[in-house]
């Protein structure tokens, strides 16, 4: 079962991705998992979002070429 996050007033997509998923690079993945909220830029309190699982390959794919080790 996917994790969920209940927003606090003032939360933003990238802030939630950073705190809950470990990196702002996961913002797109977070947004894709919560498409019905795409029109929201700054959340009010109480919105329940799905926090998708991240795979190591997704993290590596998001890195700039000089940071990739494989």
What are phi and psi for residue 36, nearest 5 degrees? -70, -10
Q: Give the Cα separation of 70 and 26 in Å (integer).
A: 20
What string of pLDDT tens digits covers the 70 residues of the chain? 569 999 999 999 999 999 999 999 999 999 999 999 999 999 999 999 999 988 754 555 555 666 555 5
- Cα within 13 Å of Cα(10), Cβ side: 0
Residues 6+ apart with CB under 8 A from 65: none
Task: Kindly state the tokens that stand for 60.
Answer: 């590596």
The model carries a pTM of 0.76
């Amino acid at each position: 079962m996917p994790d969920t996050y209940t927003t606090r007033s003032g939360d933003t997509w990238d802030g939630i991705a950073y705190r809950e998923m470990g990196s702002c690079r996961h913002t797109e993945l977070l947004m894709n998992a919560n498409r019905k909220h795409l029109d929201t830029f700054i959340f009010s309190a109480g919105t329940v979002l799905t926090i998708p699982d991240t795979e190591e390959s997704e993290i590596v794919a998001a890195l700039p070429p000089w940071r990739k080790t494989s």
